[in-house]
Structure formats: C-alpha cells, structure tokens
Amino acid sequence: MLHRSASDITHVSDSEPEREALRRRLKESRNGSQSSSPCQSPTPAPSRAPLTTISNTPKRLQHRLSVIDKRLTEVEQEVRDLRSEFNGLAGSLTREEDVVLVRLFKKSRWQPKTAWENCRVLEDGRTMLILAKYFIRGVHLINAFGCAKESTTYYLNDLVDNDWFLRAGN
C-alpha cells in the first residue's frame, strides 16, 4: 500500500470518473517512483517445494510429524474419555464437589518410600478424575514430572503400601 500525505489528495469524490482518475494517478506514481517509495512490495521468496505433504519432507521431519500425529491422536482420545468420565461423574453428584485430575503410575522396581525421586516410573498412561474427598491416607500425590511445583497436574501413586495396591478406576 502506498502512503500519501494529505496534501497529495485534495478531496475525495464519490463520482466514478474522478475515482478512476485517482486510481490511474496512484498507479502511475507507484510505477514511476517505486525505488523511492518507503513502502515497497516485499521481494518474492525463493521458490522451493512447500513442506505441506509428507512426500516432500525430509525423513527426520517426517518421523517427527508422525510421532506428533500419533501423540495428538492419543491426547484426543484421552480428552474424549475424560469428558465422558466427567459427564458421568457430574451426573452422579447432587452438589458441587472438588475433583482432581491425576495420571496413574506405578514404580518399576521396589524402593523405600523416601526414594521417589530416584526411582524409575512406569506410566499407566491413564488419566482419571477422582473426587478429592476419596483420597485415603497413604496415597502419594506428587507433581507431574516436568511440571512446576504449583501445577495442578499430579501423578497418583497406585502403591499405597509396599504390599497393597489402590484399585482406582479398574
């Protein structure tokens, strides 16, 4: 778009011939002074094949796109499951209740209860909505790995004691 000062345009008319004449003048001034115009049209980008189809993407990018696509599909399914679980839970309640969104996990090898930060974790992969009032003593709620301490996403340890498993959502 060509910027012009108010002194260049003396008045604006609604008549068609005057508009056409103004358009011609603007077009001529663009063609004549394109190099000195402060608002030149951008130079076209060098032509290359667009990365819109899988066939012309590099193999590494292709792999990453397929991994992302698979994860998005999993997340969409997880959201659908949570939505149906939430609707079922909300339908059974008679008043407002606090719920907590948790991801289930279990320890991959036995560790003392104090060594959670050093143990490897097998994720069950399921997320659940649990009524906050149903948390029992001994259930470990820890912040989700990679989330901030004040995050509202938690992992629910299904191991309450070393020999007793919490059977939530099974």
Angle ∠(40,43,44) on CA atoms, nearest 5: 140
Q: What is the pLDDT of residue 132?
A: 65
Which of 15-19, 25-29, 37-41, 153-157 has maximum average pLDDT?
Answer: 25-29
Q: What is the pLDDT of residue 166?
A: 36
Residue 159 bridge partners (DSSP): 165
Which residue, among 132, 136, 170, has the nearest Cα to 152 in the 3D structure? Answer: 132
Q: What is the rounded distance in angstroms from the CA atom of residue 100 to the CA atom of residue 144?
A: 13
Domains in the chain, number: 1
For 41-46, what is the mean pLDDT? Answer: 50
Which residue, among 125, 114, 124, has the nearest Cα to 162 in the 3D structure? Answer: 114
53 located within any domain:
no
- Report yes or no: 141 and 135 within 8 Å, Cβ to Cβ: yes
87 located within any domain:
no
- Report yes or no: 121 and 105 within 8 Å, Cβ to Cβ: yes
Q: What is the rounded distance in angstroms from the CA atom of residue 158 to the CA atom of residue 121?
A: 11
Q: What is the rounded distance in angstroms from the CA atom of residue 26 to the CA atom of residue 32?
A: 10
151 located within any domain:
yes
- Report yes or no: 141 and 125 within 8 Å, Cβ to Cβ: no
For 29-34, what is the mean pLDDT? Answer: 59
- Of 69-83, 88-102, 125-139, which gets the smallest average pLDDT? 125-139
Q: Residue 127: which domain range?
A: 97-170
More confident residue, 63 or 154: 63
38 located within any domain:
no
Q: What is the rounded distance in angstroms from the CA atom of residue 168 to the CA atom of residue 165?
A: 9
| Long-range own/partner contacts, residues 71-79 (CB < 8 A, 24 or more apart) | 78/127
Q: What is the pLDDT of residue 28?
A: 73
Q: What is the pLDDT of residue 170?
A: 32
- Report yes or no: 102 and 140 within 8 Å, Cβ to Cβ: no
18 located within any domain:
no
For the entire predicted model, the pTM comes to 0.30
Residue type, 73: T
- 30 burial (CB, 10 Å; 0-12 / 13-18 / 19+) is middle
127 located within any domain:
yes
Centre a 10 Å sphere on the Cβ of residue 144 and count the other Cβ atoms it contains: 15
132 located within any domain:
yes
129 located within any domain:
yes
Q: What is the pLDDT of residue 29?
A: 66
